[in-house]
């Protein structure tokens, strides 16, 4: 298709316009065209936008995300549905009773326990299960007992609609505490 200057002006007029950004600023936009070596019309757009508004929106979303992150285990548990809170409290109690020297914190966005400044176990609430993370060694040592649950390397999923295996969690915590003591205590 060959384009004469009249067609090009018509094309620019039909593709241009005005709009209003979310912040109320008037936006002008036009479509620019160029011709390639075969005399074909190639549109290239150029849009002037209110980047300040988008930056503000990005910062607002970022801060909202950061503000919702728990800073301690109490906050983490308080932010899950009520029916799951009881399960998390039971896991937390089991960990603290069987690794009395463990340090409790939030790491990777979930409750974390360290002993001798090294990871002991973690747990996290999800929509349909509670993830329990006792490092690969903690899971390998109890592979047979954990086989009925969905697993990954160093992780296991306990369905929230089933009874928690607190005795098994207790055994894993005791095993991991002894392992950390053997490897890292001085």
Domain parsing of the chain, residue ranges:
5-67, 73-184
Encode the chain (186 residues) as per-residue pLDDT tens digits.
444 444 444 344 444 445 444 555 555 444 444 454 555 554 554 444 555 655 565 665 666 666 678 999 999 999 999 999 999 999 999 999 999 999 999 999 999 999 999 999 999 999 999 999 999 999 999 999 999 999 988 899 999 999 999 999 999 999 999 999 999 987
Burial of 160 by CB count in 10 Å (0-12 exposed, 13-18 middle, 19+ buried)? middle
Task: Just give the CATH number of 73-184.
Answer: 3.90.1150.200
In degrees and rounded to multiples of 5, residue 175 shows phi and psi of -60, -50
- Cα distances from 133 to residues 41, 76, 116, in angstroms, run 59, 16, 17
**Cβ(184)–Cβ(116) below 8 Å:** yes
Rounded to two decimals, the pTM is: 0.66
Contacts for 44 with CB less than 8 Å, ≥ 6 apart: 31, 32, 33, 34
Task: Count Cβ atoms below 10 Å from residue 50 Cβ, excluding itself.
Answer: 16
Q: Check residue 132 and give its pLDDT.
A: 97
């Amino acid at each position: 298709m060959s384009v004469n200057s009249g067609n090009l002006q018509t094309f620019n007029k039909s593709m241009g316009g005005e709009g209003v950004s979310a912040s109320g600023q008037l936006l002008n936009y036009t479509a620019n065209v160029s011709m390639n070596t075969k005399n074909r019309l190639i549109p290239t757009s150029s849009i002037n936008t209110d980047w300040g508004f988008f930056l503000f929106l990005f910062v607002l979303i970022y801060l909202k995300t950061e503000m919702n992150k728990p800073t301690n285990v109490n906050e983490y548990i308080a932010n899950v549905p009520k029916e799951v809170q009881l399960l998390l409290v039971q896991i937390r109690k089991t960990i603290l009773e069987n690794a009395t020297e463990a340090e409790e914190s939030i790491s990777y966005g979930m409750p974390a326990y360290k002993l001798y400044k090294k990871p002991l176990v973690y747990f996290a609430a999800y929509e349909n299960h509670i993830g329990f993370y006792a490092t690969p060694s903690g899971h390998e040592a109890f592979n047979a007992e954990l086989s009925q649950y969905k697993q990954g390397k160093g992780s296991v999923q306990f369905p929230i609609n089933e009874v928690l295996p607190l005795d098994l969690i207790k055994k894993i915590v005791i095993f991991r505490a002894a392992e950390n003591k053997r490897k890292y205590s001085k």
